[in-house]
Amino acid sequence: MSSPYRIALLGRTAEAILSMPSAGVLRVAIDGVDGAGKTVFADELAEVIEGMGRTTIRASVDSFHNPRAVRYRRGARSPRGFFLDSYNYSRLRTLLLDPLAPGGSGRYRVAMFDHRSDSERFSSELQAPPGSILLLDGIFLHRPELRSCWDYSIFLRVGFHRSIARCAGRDGCSADPLAAENRRYVVGQQLYLRSCAPERCATLVIDNNDLSAPWVVGDECVGTVRPR
């Protein structure tokens, strides 16, 4: 994935984040639908930031799932249930986001639940070094209850035809966004896009349909030109 366009965009995004004043920890969200490329982008961004001399903390909202009984209480195929019940945002804030907020203790955990085993799995409690940067990837990160947590946020724009195809390659599901097995996830994320308007809330919107040539949407201050 390391093309000149991608390397340049990662570098300029890192510079934009590092230019923000902070006496403590900067909290950065990397949002997007399933298959948008959030985890890879966040990992690559962390590497660039670390190369610029700053410490990063990597975490994913997927380590803060609700138990299966909560996730599927509206039905296993419910898109509304996927949107509303997937994650324990109270625990996410208590264990990770609030301790890293201004005035917080700096003592944090990056995980509390393993959805595969459907059981609590708390990571070790750590102390954040001053000046470190949290990079949290996940879906639904611009929900109203989380928006105030971000010092900087990124939304990766990817069409469902592309994102579901990526999920199919990763998880073995159907590559058709209209397939019945994908309805819970596609429609649930459409509910999020309509009700929370993450592109309007994000600091930076990146079109990540082409992994080798991502480009910044409507934000020339980052200095990335759309590849032609």
Parse the chain into domains and list their residue ranges: 4-216
Of the listed ranges 18-32, 123-137, 185-199, the one predicted with least confidence: 18-32
> Is domain 4-216 given the CATH code 3.40.50.300 in the classification?
yes
* Separation CA 207–CA 194 (nearest Å): 18
For residues 21 and 195, the model is more confident at: 195
pLDDT digits (tens, 9 = 90+) for 168-210: 888 888 989 999 999 999 999 999 999 999 999 999 999 999 9
* Separation CA 88–CA 68 (nearest Å): 12
- In this prediction the pTM is 0.93
pLDDT digits (tens, 9 = 90+) for 73-128: 999 999 999 999 999 999 999 999 999 999 999 999 999 999 999 999 999 999 99
DSSP state of 65: B
pLDDT digits (tens, 9 = 90+) for 43-64: 999 999 999 999 999 999 999 9
* Separation CA 161–CA 5 (nearest Å): 23
* Separation CA 29–CA 58 (nearest Å): 10
- DSSP states of 97-116: ITTTSTT---EE-S--EETT
